[in-house]
Amino acid sequence: MLASILTALVFLTATTLILSLLLIIAEKWILNYGPCTIDVNNGQKVIDIQGGSSLLNSLSENEIFIPSACGGRGSCAYCKVKVTQGGGPLSPIEEPYLSEQEIKDNVRLSCQVKVREDIKIQIPDELFNARLFKAVTASKKMLTYDIMELGFDLVEPDEIEFTAGQYIQLESREYKGADSVIRAYSISSLPSEKKKIELIMRRVPEGICTTWAFDHLKEGQEVSLSGPYGDFKLQDTDAPAIFIAGGSGMAPIWSILRHMHEKNINKKSYYFFSGRIYDDLFFTDELFGLEKKLSDFKYVPCLTREPEHSSWKGERGRIPEILPRYIPDAQEYEAYLCGSSALIEACCSKLSELGLKDEKMYFDKFE
Ligand SMILES: Cc1cc2nc3c(=O)[nH]c(=O)nc-3n(C[C@H](O)[C@H](O)[C@H](O)COP(=O)(O)OP(=O)(O)OC[C@H]3O[C@@H](n4cnc5c(N)ncnc54)[C@H](O)[C@@H]3O)c2cc1C
């Protein structure tokens, strides 16, 4: 009796295994998606691939790097592209990340689109410039108690072209209790310094990538990064500028301001930087120094929780409360904001009250 039950069990398991295997083979070979083409931007690049992989992976294997921070799990929504032909139906994973307008415009999460037929997509032109870089960690320097400047020397390719304000994606390595992840970091170095990349990183408690970078990454260690990405950059206009940042949101603004100095771009500008206490400030001498190097530039560090009786003589309070005293009417300005959503949203709402139109507010939210 026991023997026949065991035989039946073995038979069932073997049948299930064989059927699963057959299904996999069927999907790969019998259903064989076969050769497909991906047409990018109306023939600007046409890629021949073997169908079956995700659009995101198929593109990166062909050196088109779409930003993605979740490893293709459909949870970061960075990898949006417009699919104008092919791509199959929208999946339930994608829907929550797409606005009604994006759904109408056929925007998709490229990690969730399987290439099973010829497909046509539209991507921003600047994504053609994104590359995968091998780099070596050149320096780690603490700027405050929780903010670090990280320097990388590029190895392969050994130069990068980017616009001040753009970001790269850094891949962390596995360490005890954490998988490798990819996270976005704004470039703080200058576009003219093509052979290196500097970042300004704030430690996030329990954060996977930041714990790796602060505690495990060693000088001399090789890393992998891709980019450049993003359209946060100084507009080519004569309008005066308001820069606003908090914490590591300094990174792209630091690059933009020094780029303005290097290229002799002179425009009236203010930089409001938010910290809680004096120890949150960094590059202070350099930023006040820029007041002499850039024409009509003013640096305004603002501290929200500096002890009342300290020797701090600068601004105290939140940037939205301080802004109107410097800029009672913001109509003529453009604003560049970088850091947490809370800071950006509070400042954008105050800038609206001061007359600045939404389309003249440019921002990079770090979440
Ligand atoms: C375009 C862009 C540019 C960015 N540039 C920079 C930069 O120049 N410097 C920089 O330090 N960061 C930057 N970030 C944020 C960065 O990409 C990571 O999100 C951040 O470093 C946390 O990664 P982690 O893996 O350590 O944390 P995770 O493991 O992803 O998160 C751990 C926990 O912390 C929370 N968390 C995640 N990020 C933050 C945060 N920023 N603040 C508070 N809590 C958080 C998460 O919700 C989660 O609960 C940028 C983000 C974007 C989208």
The band of 365, judged by pLDDT with boundaries at 50, 70 and 90, is confident
Tens-digit pLDDT profile for residues 93-122: 999 999 999 999 999 999 999 999 999 999
Contacts of residue 16, defined as CB under 8 A and 6 or more positions apart, other chains included, come to none
Q: Which of 179, 204, 336 to mutate to test the pocket of ligand 1 (most atoms within 8 A of CB)?
A: 204
Report how far Cα 300 is from the mean position of its chain's Cα atoms.
Answer: 26
166-174 mean pLDDT: 95
Stretch (H or E) spanning 258: helix 250-262
**Which atom of ligand 1 lies nearest, measured to the CA of 229?**
1
Tens-digit pLDDT profile for residues 65-76: 998 877 788 888
Residue 251 scores a pLDDT above 90: yes
- CATH code at 241-365: 3.40.50.80
Per-residue pLDDT at 290:
97
Residue 26 scores a pLDDT above 60: no
% of the chain at pLDDT higher than 70: 95
Residue 249 scores a pLDDT above 80: yes
Arithmetic mean of pLDDT over the chain: 93
Are the beta carbons of 288 and 299 closer than 8 angstroms?
A: yes
- CATH code at 130-229: 2.40.30.10
Stretch (H or E) spanning 227: strand 222-229
Q: Report the C-alpha gap between 241 and 180 in whole angstroms.
A: 38
Measured in Å, how far apart are the chain's first and last C-alpha atoms? Answer: 62
Residue 367 scores a pLDDT above 80: no
pLDDT top residue among 322 and 266 = 322
Residue nearest atom 24 of ligand 1, based on CA coordinates: 207
Tens-digit pLDDT profile for residues 205-235: 999 999 999 999 999 999 999 999 999 999 9
Tens-digit pLDDT profile for residues 126-154: 899 899 999 999 999 999 999 999 999 99
**Which atom of ligand 1 lies nearest, measured to the CA of 201?**
11
Q: Cα(212) to centroid of ligand 1, in Å?
A: 13
**Which atom of ligand 1 lies nearest, measured to the CA of 210?**
26
The residues spanned by each domain of the chain are 35-125, 130-229, 241-365
Per-residue pLDDT at 21:
61
Q: 3-class DSSP state for residue 134?
A: strand
Stretch (H or E) spanning 3: helix 2-25
DSSP state of 28: I
Residue 24 scores a pLDDT above 60: no
11-30 mean pLDDT: 64
Q: Report the C-alpha gap between 308 and 121 in whole angstroms.
A: 57
Per-residue pLDDT at 9:
72
Q: Is 347 exposed, middle or buried (0-12, 13-18, 19+ CB in 10 A)?
A: buried
Write phi, then psi, for 134 (nearest 5 degrees). Answer: -100, 135
Residue nearest atom 48 of ligand 1, based on CA coordinates: 207
Q: Cα(209) to centroid of ligand 1, in Å?
A: 8
Q: Cα(204) to centroid of ligand 1, in Å?
A: 7
Per-residue pLDDT at 11:
76
Give ligand 1 pocket residues (Cβ under 6 A): 167, 181, 183-186, 199-202, 204, 206-210, 230, 248, 251, 364, 366-367
The band of 2, judged by pLDDT with boundaries at 50, 70 and 90, is low
353-367 mean pLDDT: 93
Residue nearest atom 13 of ligand 1, based on CA coordinates: 185
Q: Report the C-alpha gap between 330 and 324 in whole angstroms.
A: 9
Residue 347 scores a pLDDT above 70: yes
**Percentage helix, strand, coil for the chain under 3-state DSSP, each rounded to 5:** 30, 30, 40
Tens-digit pLDDT profile for residues 190-201: 999 999 999 999
Per-residue pLDDT at 366:
86
Q: Which of 152, 185, 229 to mutate to test the pocket of ligand 1 (most atoms within 8 A of CB)?
A: 185
Q: Report the C-alpha gap between 238 and 262 in whole angstroms.
A: 17
Tens-digit pLDDT profile for residues 45-60: 999 999 999 999 999 8
Residue nearest atom 52 of ligand 1, based on CA coordinates: 366
Q: 12-26 burial by CB neighbour count: b if 16+ within 10 A, else e?
A: eeeeeeeeeeeeeee
Nearest to 115 by CA among 68, 41, 47: 47
Q: Hunting for tokens 């100095």 — which residue is that?
A: 261
Class for the domain spanning 35-125? alpha beta
**Which atom of ligand 1 lies nearest, measured to the CA of 69?**
17
**Which atom of ligand 1 lies nearest, measured to the CA of 181?**
25
Residue nearest atom 17 of ligand 1, based on CA coordinates: 184
Sign, Cα dihedral of 302, 308, 312, 315: positive
pLDDT top residue among 313 and 33 = 313
Residue 29 scores a pLDDT above 80: no
Q: Report the C-alpha gap between 258 and 49 in whole angstroms.
A: 43
> Across 31-124, where does the E strand assignment appear?
35-40, 45-50, 80-85, 107-109, 119-122
The band of 294, judged by pLDDT with boundaries at 50, 70 and 90, is very high
Per-residue pLDDT at 120:
97
